[in-house]
Chains A and B, each alone.
Chain A
Amino acid sequence: MHELSIAMGIVEAAMDEAQRRGVRVSAVHLRLGALSGVVKDALLFSYDVACQDTPLQGSRLIVEDVPIAVFCPKCKEQRVLPSLQSFTCPECNTPTMDIRQGKELEVFALEVEE
């Protein structure tokens, strides 16, 4: 369970951005890849703990799940994988490790009030 340290990293990043802009954060939007190694529920729980006694206390964490996308060498197309258990093209079954998306762990936007 490393979600608490990840949550603290999120709070730190958001606080830093907010301070630089002189704004108050009401929500943090996070892009979370299926291959990031982070469990969403544990992260949501940890977020509230990490926010305590910081300017972000009471803010919300909004998580956008990012599925894994690979590039299929045969179809020459980017494909979204339906599961983490099979790194094969869902159309033609060609195995591929050319991962184009799904490792994200990124604070991509903040909902702020002046």
Chain B
Amino acid sequence: MSEPRLVEVRRNVLKQNDILARALREQFRAAGVFVVSLVSSPGSGKTTFLEKTLTQLQPRYRVAALVGDLATENDAVRLARSKAPVKQITTGTLCHLEAGMVQNALQEWNLHQFDFLFIENVGNLVCPSSYDLGENLRLVLMSVTEGEDKPLKYPTIFNSADVAVITKNELADAVEFDWETARKSIESVRPGMRIFRLSAKTGDGMEAYLEFLSQQRAENQAVAQT
């Protein structure tokens, strides 16, 4: 046997996911649907926040949602109360969504019927950061009960996201949430990141965030048409 030799190959391990994500993004663009994904740790209030988002956008927009979980259809049932089309993706043992799962879940839907599509990822602040889902905007959620330094502990996911949403603001005083420290943590791992602080329960702060989504969608449409 000859001596081992080194051959250069240069292959992106996530190439397959990235190719699918690119195809999805093009599909979304062609259908005129603006896609927002949500990542957070379990229990940060993602589903309540998404339920309110779907409900409050509906008078003006046609909305739909995909929701990822390891098991159960509970979240899809909760979100269905908003009357928006909702589909559950059950990942089994997988801790994150991949572009292929999104593609499969969307097969029966005509994307032209929607203005907004939301994708709720599995509750996990680590693994989802590696996978592009073809979304236009990635929101990372963090509740006031989680501690102000969460962004410093999970810098990769905050860095990969476009917008931070601080949830459960109605509990901020009770848990002595230090807003300035949290803001600095986010700014440190993701300079210039847009931050919303709100309560899905009381509705406080939702308006500014929903207005932001409208604007982002409008800007995206304008770019897509040129």
Interface residues of A (CB under 8 A from B): 1-2, 5-6, 9-10, 13-14, 17, 21, 23, 26-27, 29-30, 35-39, 84-88, 95-97, 105-114
Contacts and interface: CB of A to CB of B under 8 A. Distances in A.
A110 B6 contact: yes
B127 A85 contact: no
A56 to B, nearest CB: 14
A113 B2 contact: yes
B5 interface: yes
B188 A87 contact: yes
24 contacts: A2-B94, A2-B95, A5-B94, A9-B14, A10-B13, A21-B7, A35-B159, A36-B130, A37-B127, A37-B157, A84-B189, A87-B190, A97-B192, A105-B12, A105-B14, A106-B12, A107-B9, A108-B8, A111-B6, A112-B5, A112-B6, A113-B2, A113-B4, A114-B2
B11 A17 contact: yes
Contacts of B14: 6, 9, 105
Given A84-B189, A110-B7, 4 more contacts: A36-B130, A37-B129, A95-B192, A97-B191
B13 A106 contact: yes
Nearest to A32: B13
B156 interface: yes
A106 B15 CA distance: 9
Given A17-B11, A21-B7, A105-B12, A87 B191 contact: yes
Interface string B149-189: 00010011101100000000000000000000000000111
Contacts of B16: 9
B10 interface: yes
